[in-house]
Amino acid sequence: MDIETREHIEFLLHHFYQKLLADPAIAYVFTDVAKINIETHMPILADFWEMILFQKDSYRKNLMELHLHLNEKEPLTATHFATWLRHFNETVDEYFTGEKAFLAKQRALSIATSMQIKITQP
C-alpha cells in the first residue's frame, strides 16, 4: 500500500518517532535538547509531510530556522542526520510501497542533505 492520506502520514510518523525515541544516539536531541512533546508536535510534523507529499498548504513554520536554533543548543552531526534518515527509510519500507513512499524517502534525503549543508556552512 502507498502513502495516500493524512492518516497514512500520521501512522508513518507515529512508528518513525517510536524508533527515533528508542535510539539513544538521537533520542536525547528530541527529549533533552528540543524538549518536544511528541504528541503535541505530531500534528505539525503531519502538516509538513502533507505539504511535501500532497502539496497541501498546511505547514506554517520555517523548518530550517527551527533546526538552526536547535543546532545552536546541540550541534547536529552527520551521525544524527544518518540515524534520522535510516529510521525514516526503514519505517517507510516497513509499511509502505509505491510512488508516494518513494517520494517520501527521496524528499527525506534531500531535506537531510540540505540541512547538513546549511548547518555546517560558516
Q: Is the backbone of residue 10 left (phi > 0), alpha (psi -120 to 50) or beta?
A: alpha
**Could you count the other beta carbons within 10 Å of the beta carbon of residue 13?**
20
Per-residue pLDDT of the chain (122 residues), as tens digits, is 999 999 999 999 999 999 999 999 999 999 999 998 989 999 999 999 999 999 998 777 777 888 888 889 999 999 999 999 999 999 999 999 999 999 999 999 999 999 999 998 76
State the CATH class of domain 6-120. Answer: mainly alpha
pTM: 0.92
Q: 10 vs 28, 46, 75, 108, CA distance in Å?
A: 22, 6, 28, 16
Whose cell is 502538516? That residue is 47
At 122 the pLDDT is 60
